[in-house]
Amino acid sequence: MRVRKHAWVVLTITALAFIAIGIFRNEAAVVLRKATMICMECIGLG
């Protein structure tokens, strides 16, 4: 019960570390590049 109560804290800290690692690996740039162009496949045209 105690573990479950505080699991979200551990997960949130892990998640923030993941985001930082992702930025360091240039993944944020990949997301930004994809999101700022119209995704023809996503809209059913590609």
- The interface with another protein within residues 5-24 (CB under 8 A) comprises 7-8, 11-12, 14-23
Residue whose tokens read 């930025």: 23
Minimum CB distance to another protein, residue 10 (Å): 8
The sign of the dihedral angle between the CA atoms of 40, 43, 45, 46 is positive
Quote the least distance from Cβ 12 to another protein, whole Å: 5
Q: Residue 13 has what DSSP assignment?
A: H
Structure-block tokens of residue 29: 């740039």
Binding flag, residue 4, another protein (CB under 8 A) = yes
Question: Which residues bind to another protein, rule: CB under 8 A?
Answer: 1, 4, 7-8, 11-12, 14-23, 25-28, 30-32, 34-46
